[in-house]
Amino acid sequence: MNLPTGVMRGNTRNIQAVDAKRELDELAGMGFSGYVIESILLPSGLEESALVFRNGIGVGSQYEYYSRARTLQGDESLAHVLNVFIAEHAVVDVVELSVQQVDLVTAFNPKIKFSKPIAKGGFKPFMKDSFDASLAEKISSSAPTNEPATKESLFKKFGLAGIEGM
């Protein structure tokens, strides 16, 4: 998924220092529009997610298992996205967008949309108390296995193939 560049509002390298349930409620309470990107490197490979907000309402998400070449979107991805919030080590970036930019994100990526938008306090029932590694195992057992992602394959996926000097 291609996301527009917005205004960086936060960057957290130590995810354990954050109360994820409170942070999501705060974003919802302040009427946040934009996205939260989470990146985590596990023994199985790099995983990345995006949680999209429009005026404080969670409207969609996507989760990418790069090493498995598998992307989950919308309702299917929510548990995976929220799982990273309670991981031991992850990087989280909060990027603010205009409402119009969020509308474009959901228009160009309609599969990311939740069947029912999530308001303040609505994320709590989906969040567990500890990181659940079995979510990834379920994905790997239900999806065809591909070779692990390489630097070159990731560059190609993001349209950066052929760039010299990297």
Domain boundaries, given as residue ranges, for the chain: 7-157
The values of phi and psi at residue 78, to 5°, are: -55, -50
109 pLDDT above the threshold of 90 = yes
140 pLDDT above the threshold of 60 = no
Distance, CA of 134 to CA of 104 (rounded, Å): 34
Which of the two residues, 1 and 69, has the higher pLDDT score?
69
Which of the two residues, 63 and 133, has the higher pLDDT score?
63
Count the Cβ atoms, other than its own, within 10 Å of residue 91. Answer: 16
108 pLDDT above the threshold of 90 = yes
The values of phi and psi at residue 140, to 5°, are: -65, -30
- Residue 55 region by backbone torsions, left for phi larger than 0, else alpha for psi between -120 and 50, else beta: left
Residue 64 CA from chain centroid, whole number: 8
Q: What is the average pLDDT value for the chain, to the nearest integer? A: 82
137 pLDDT above the threshold of 50 = yes
- What is the average pLDDT across 97-115? 96
pLDDT digits (tens, 9 = 90+) for 24-82: 888 899 999 999 999 888 877 888 999 999 999 999 999 998 888 889 999 999 999 99
Is the full-model pTM beyond 0.85?
Answer: no
Q: Give the residue among 48, 32, 42, 44 at the shortest CA–CA distance from 123.
A: 32
